[in-house]
Each structure stands twice: as C-alpha cells, then as structure tokens.
Amino acid sequence: MTTGSNLVDGQWVPSASGATFRSVDPAHPTEVLGVFPDSTAQDVAAAVDALEKAAPEWAATPPERRARILERAADALEARADQLITELIREEGKSRAEATTEVSRTPMNLRFYAAEALRSGGSTYPAAGQTMVYTVREPVGIVGAITPWNFPLNIPSRKLGPALAAGNVVLFKPSEVTPLMGQRLVEALLAGGLPPTAIALVQGGGGAGAAVAADDRVTAVTFTGSTDVGAAIHAGVGPQRRVQLEMGGKNPTVVLGDADLDFAATTIVKGAFGLSGQACTGTSRVVVVDEIHDALVKAVVAKASALRLGPGIDDGATMGPLASAAQLAKYREYVSIGVAEGALRHDVDIPVPESDGYFAAPVVFTDTTPDMRIVREEIFGPVLAFQRARDVDDALRIANDTRFGMSAAVITADLGRAMAFAAASKTGLVKVNQPTTGMAMNAPFGGYKASSTQTFKEQAGSSMMQFYQAEKTIYLTPAG
Ligand code: NAD
C-alpha cells in the first residue's frame, strides 16, 4: 500500500489537517491501494504562496533547460513503464492493452512540449520607418491543472508539459480516484530535474479543486472533467484570469447504407466499449439509415460478445471494470432509465466476473426517441443508443441534435458524402471510417458547443501553447 503526500514548497507533506482518503482497486474494491492527503483550501493557499515565490526563477530558466528537463522526465517515465502499467491497471481499471498505450503516450507528450519550449516564439510585423513591431510570448504565471481519472497520466501530461515548457509554475490537483498516477507524474518531473518548488501537488476531491479555481493568484485554470463541474469553475473565474475547460460528449457514429457491416460493427464496438465506455470521445450513439439498421444492431451485439470482461491485470481481459462505485451506480441508473423510457434493451451476453468489482457488461438500446435521456445525456459507461435515420441528411441532422460537440464519426466508402459530413458536423473532431475515440498528439483537439470552452479550446498540438503564454507587443524606435 502506498502512503502518498502533497508536494508544497518543494517538500512532500501531509495535508494541514492530517485528513486522508483512500484509493481502491476497482476490480477488487475491498483492496485499499493507497492513502493520500485530503486537502483543503488551507493546503491550496500554502501551495500558491510558495509557487508565487518560485515563479520568477522558473520563468527565467532558459528554454533549452526547460526542454531538457521535460525530456528527462519522459525518460524517467519510460524507465518505470512496467511498474506504471501495473499501477494504472490497478488504480483506474484499464485493460493491459489500454494501460500500455497510455503509459507509452505520456512521455511522448512531454517530449512534444519539450520541443515547444524552443519553438513557441513571437512574431515581427511590417512597420513604418525604423520602428520595429514584434511580439514576445511570456509565461502567464501560476497554472492550476484539475484533471479527471479516465486518463490520469496522459491528460495531466498534456497540461503540465506545455505549462512548464512555457515557463509557468504549476499547481496540480489530480482526480481523487487516481491519486497515485498524479504523484507518479510529479515524481518523473522531479527525476527529470524540475526544481521541486516549480510544481505543487495537492491531492483531494472537489473541495480541493474548487479552492484551486477560486484562488485569484492562479492566473490560468485548465480543467478536464464533467460539464457541470466545468460550468461551476467557469462561473467563478473572473475576466482577468484564463480558463480552459474540456468536458463531456454524446458522440455519434453515423453509418451510411453503403458501409461494410462487419467493419462498421468493429469500429463502433471499439469506440463505444473501449475503456469500458469511459472516454470523453466514446461512441454513445449510433445513427444508422433504416435499410441496414437491424443488421447493424445484430452485428454490433455479436461483435461485443467477443469482449472479455475482467480485471485488467489478467491478460485475457479486454474490458476492465468501471473506475469507481459512482461510475457503476451511474451505469445501472441509466440502464434502468432507458428501460423506463421505453427503449428496447439488448444485453451483450458475456460473463460478468462474480466479484464485488465494478464490472459492467455492454448494453445496447434500440427503438429510442430523440428526447430520451439515454440519447441526450452523457452516461460515461458501456451503454449505446441506436437512432434510426431516413437518409444521409436526416442522419446528419440527428448527429448534430445534441448540446455536446466533442467527436463524431461516419462510416462510408463514399468520399463525397464523408467530406460533406465532415463539413457539416458540429464537433471539434470528425473521424471518417475510424472510431470516435483516439486522437493525434500533434494535432488540435477540443470540442464544440458544451464540450469545451470556446476560447482556448485546444488540448493538444502546438496551438494549445497559446493558453499557457501571454503575448506582448513591443514597438521599438531609435531615440530622436
Ligand atoms: P469530474 O468533473 O467529476 O472531476 C474532474 C476533476 O474536477 C477531479 O479532479 C475532481 O476532483 C475535480 N472537481 C470536482 N468538483 C469540483 C469543483 N466543484 N471545483 C473544482 N474541481 C472539482 O469528472 P470525472 O468524473 O473525473 O471525469 C469524467 C468526466 O470528464 C466526463 O464528463 C468526461 O466526458 C470528461 N472528460 C473530458 C475529456 C475531454 O477532453 N473533453 C477527457 C476526459 C474526460
């Protein structure tokens, strides 16, 4: 069992109150994995006091050195990869293949942002006479990073990496479901040579997160999590501070009449039930034209029945448990809601381990109507709602009929229709003949509508550096 700590002013410390919380293995919830500080506003204030003092020195650290530190942190993660895979499986519940992917992507993110430390400069502009007009990009100050449990290494690395590369100090509040992964990422940064005062780690739940967002000295708040919490954070951050929110989705995969059914079903099952349905880009709706509706439902249910539900630590398992008791309760609630709303429930017939683990078999609903909650609300579990469309135009209208705008996919061999869909989709991500899940680390990533803030929405690629840098314009003219 791990006894975790906060990192405040370069020291590993308990919470000021001494209070703690526990992390458990979602495949065996009676097994306590770790005990971590349950932090309050007092811990957050102490962390911000120390970060304020440390900020000038880190901002003045040459970009080559900042880059080198991030590269060495990536090396440190890779050196510990086997341990991290096991710990990630046990803390969050991923399958081994899913955990291996996340652990290999995280150092790649740090390397990508190491290069941005050297690349993200200002510009010069044409100007009259001897005047030179140019911009410099400066760190914004103290970045508060509040993150979810579903990618507990990968998502924070896409916040801490660019924040530190740009010369900001960071206050990091990981999810209370995956505190160890948060601590491991900070340990890797320190192993890479990051001055321990340039980062603070504050463990705890929503109260600690709210305190991070509420502190006016935290000049930029970057958050990934649920839409309701994001909205509360946004409402509390005034006009003088930056805020970036990545939130929920209700992502459709649209299947057109010419689609290969086997390929479509494989793609849908991967998008809907990968990560046990717990991805912000996960497929939660299938919009399919009438003529292939019934055959596609059959193919998806058959394909999903090849999944093997079990603890990720067992190599045979392709689908792990849900991450928490709250996740399991939410899944069960929405399955009941779907039945009560009159949708037709199709169970995927796979063995569910007989244990107290948070295991949830995939459920498919058909005969839905557009106003049903299972069609409109993010469930964040392995529950998939089918929606019938008359034709291509109807399918596009149904796909866009949601307050969310994270990701959408279309399955078709017709290039013209695929391109028309990409142009008309009201989502930040469009996938053609791919699952709604999955993203390139070097391309922009962020949702439309209620899925993101529409300022600073990018969460990957070079353009996200803009959130972490303030641009100043300088007019330089010789005297006289
Ligand atoms: P959550 O909103 O419950 O928690 C996210 C983080 O916010 C946690 O660290 C939590 O402790 C903290 N928090 C909770 N209440 C807070 C408050 N009042 N003020 C400040 N911080 C607070 O989300 P979750 O259950 O951890 O993650 C699942 C959600 O995350 C889903 O809605 C999913 O769609 C979303 N998500 C989005 C993306 C994306 O890129 N759009 C990626 C992954 C997950």
The pick from 92, 175, 176, 436 for probing ligand 1's pocket by mutation, whose C-beta has the most ligand atoms within 8 angstroms, reads 175
Using CA positions, which residue lies closest to atom 9 of ligand 1?
A: 175
Q: What 8-state DSSP symbol labels residue 319?
A: B
* Cα(306)–Cα(119) distance, integer angstroms: 46
176 CA closest ligand 1 atom index = 11
Is the CB of residue 255 less than 8 Å from the CB of residue 414? no
In which residue ranges of the chain is CATH 3.40.309.10 found? 251-432
Q: Given pLDDT bands bounded at 50, 70 and 90, which one contains residue 341?
A: very high
Q: Is the pLDDT of residue 458 over 90?
A: no
Ligand 1 pocket residue status of 173, Cβ below 6 Å: yes
Fold adopted by 251-432? Aldehyde Dehydrogenase; Chain A, domain 2 (3.40.309)
Mean pLDDT of the chain: 97
CB 15 within 8 A of CB 40: yes
The confidence band for 457, taking pLDDT boundaries of 50, 70 and 90, is confident
For residue range 365-412, what is the model confidence (pLDDT) as tens digits?
999 999 999 999 999 999 999 999 999 999 999 999 999 999 999 999
Residue intervals of the chain classified under CATH 3.40.605.10 are 2-247+452-476
- Give 459's pLDDT tier (boundaries 50, 70, 90): confident
User: What's the pLDDT tens digit per position in 178-215?
Assistant: 999 999 999 999 999 999 999 999 999 999 999 999 99
pLDDT at 468 > cutoff 90: yes
Q: What does the pLDDT look like over 280-309, one tens digit per residue?
A: 999 999 999 999 999 999 999 999 999 999
pLDDT at site 120? 87
On the question of pLDDT at 449 being above 90, the answer is yes
Quote the pLDDT of residue 33. Answer: 98
Residue 248 CA, closest ligand 1 atom number: 34
- Whether 147 lines ligand 1, by a CB cut-off of 6 Å, is yes
* Cβ proximity of 297 and 261 under 8 Å: no
**The token pair that represents 72 in the structure block:** 């060495």
Helix (H, G, I), strand (E, B) or coil at 67: helix
Q: 381 CB less than 6 Å from ligand 1? A: no
Distance between CA atoms of 223 and 234, rounded to whole angstroms? 10
Cβ of 249 closer than 6 Å to ligand 1, yes or no, is yes
Distance in angstroms (rounded) separating the CA atoms of residues 406 and 387: 18
Indicate the pLDDT class of residue 480, thresholds 50, 70 and 90.
confident
User: How much distance in Å is there from the Cα of 322 to the middle of ligand 1?
Assistant: 15
Our answer on whether the CB atom of 210 is closer than 6 Å to any ligand 1 atom is yes
**pLDDT at residue 41 above 90?**
yes
Pocket test of ligand 1: the residue of 150, 155, 281, 437 to mutate, having most ligand atoms within 8 Å of its CB, is 150
Q: Which atom of ligand 1 is nearest to the CA of 225?
A: 30
Does residue 7 register a pLDDT over 90? Answer: yes
Question: What's the predicted TM-score (pTM) here?
Answer: 0.98
Q: Residue 32 belongs to what H/E stretch? A: strand 28-37
Question: What span, in angstroms and rounded, lies between the C-alpha atoms of 100 and 448?
Answer: 30
Substitution site in 229, 243, 281, 284 for ligand 1 pocket (most atoms within 8 Å of beta carbon): 229
pLDDT at 430 over 90: yes
Closest ligand 1 atom number to CA of residue 228: 2
Report pLDDT digits (tens) over 66-121: 999 999 999 999 999 999 999 999 999 999 999 999 999 999 999 999 999 999 89
In 195-324, where does DSSP find H-type helix? 206-214, 227-236, 261-273, 290-304
The torsion angle over the Cα atoms of residues 389, 394, 395 and 399, rounded to 10 degrees, is: -120
Q: How far is the CA of 426 from the centre of ligand 1 (A)?
A: 23
Positions marked catalytic: 246
Confidence of residue 240 (pLDDT cuts 50, 70, 90): very high
Q: Among 459, 437, 435, 431, which Cα is nearest to 447's?
A: 459
For residue 79, give every residue at least 6 positions away whose Cβ sits within 8 Å of its Cβ, in sequence order, or none. Answer: none
Query: What angle in degrees, to the nearest 10, is found between the helix axes of 154-165 and 96-119?
Result: 10
The model's confidence at residue 269, banded by pLDDT at 50, 70 and 90, is very high
Task: Report the separation in Å between the CA atom of 380 and the middle of ligand 1, taken as the mean of its atom positions.
Answer: 12
Give the CATH architecture of domain 2-247+452-476: 3-Layer(aba) Sandwich (3.40)
The closest-lying atom of ligand 1 relative to the alpha carbon of residue 280 is 34
